[in-house]
Amino acid sequence: MTDDDLKKTLADRLTTVEARLLAACQRASRPRESVTLIAVTKTVSPRVAGLLPGLGVFDLGESRPQELRRKAAAIPDQIRWHMIGHLQRNKVEEVLPLAQLTHSVDSPRLLETVAAAGKKLNVRPRILLQVNASREDQKHGFTFEELPMLRDAILAFPGEVAGLMGMAAYADDPEAARPAFRELRELRDQLQLSWGRELPELSMGMSGDFEVAVEEGSTMVRIGSTLFEGLEESDG
Ligand SMILES: *Cc1c(COP(=O)(O)O)cnc(C)c1O
């Protein structure tokens, strides 16, 4: 595809996603501006991702540090990069200077490593705490039970703990995701009270379930396949 064809395809898909987002916001009596659309570019080439700023999308998500570094170097525009994938501790120092927000801080040890790296690099990491919202054993994230006990580490964190991130179990029916999203929001509400801190961001909702997530209070939806399916793939 030429750049023009690609841009047309992306513009059409964005229009559709925007309309669905707006409708979900209206059903929940929320302003459209209360939800950030993060385009998850992990599967597509830097060329495809690089067309997004021209279409008004400046929040891009990546799940691997190497691909984040590659795309950040290739795309000159001012992008807000979101690190959304599981982060190994030895990659933290590479990611922190690039990512505006790291969604995937998913264990006490990783939280500790991010705090130490922030001090060492003299940056204030902005993070979300990833919760294992689907309660599946093989999934990453803090459990609902352990997160409340992290109070001291959170209050001492040398950066900004902006909120929570979570994923529902995969299902064909988006409604199946609703209980997990609701539980995540309720956990956030409870932690705000017990920690005495605002946790304004709730990163939840993907291509298959973002409307339900918005109805349940999501402030950041992470959308990949609905925007990028079938487009030039990343070779990174
Ligand atoms: C890939 C990915 C997404 C996007 O998923 P789609 O179903 O393609 O929209 C969202 N969040 C995370 C953490 C991902 O890894």
Res. 76 pLDDT band, cuts 50 70 90: confident
Write the residue with the smallest CA distance to atom 4 of ligand 1: 224
Query: Which pLDDT tens digit goes with each residue over 107-120?
Result: 999 999 999 999 99
* Residue 152 Cα distances to 19, 81, 99, 111, 156, angstroms: 42, 28, 25, 12, 6
* Atom of ligand 1 at shortest range from CA of 42: 1
Write the residue with the smallest CA distance to atom 1 of ligand 1: 224
Give pLDDT, residue 137: 86
30, 31, 34, 40 alpha-carbon torsion, rounded to 10° = 100
CATH 3.40.710.10 for domain 3-227, yes or no, is: no
Query: Which pLDDT tens digit goes with each residue over 164-219?
Result: 999 999 999 999 999 999 999 999 999 999 999 999 999 999 999 999 999 999 99
DSSP secondary structure of 142-183: B-TTTGGGGHHHHHT-SSEEEEEEE-PPP-SSGGGGHHHHHH
* pTM summary value: 0.97
Average pLDDT, integer, range 54-79: 96
Give pLDDT, residue 236: 80
Give pLDDT, residue 175: 97
Q: What are the extents of the domains in the chain?
A: 3-227
Is 113 near ligand 1, meaning CB less than 6 Å away? Answer: no
> Cα(120) to centroid of ligand 1, in Å?
31
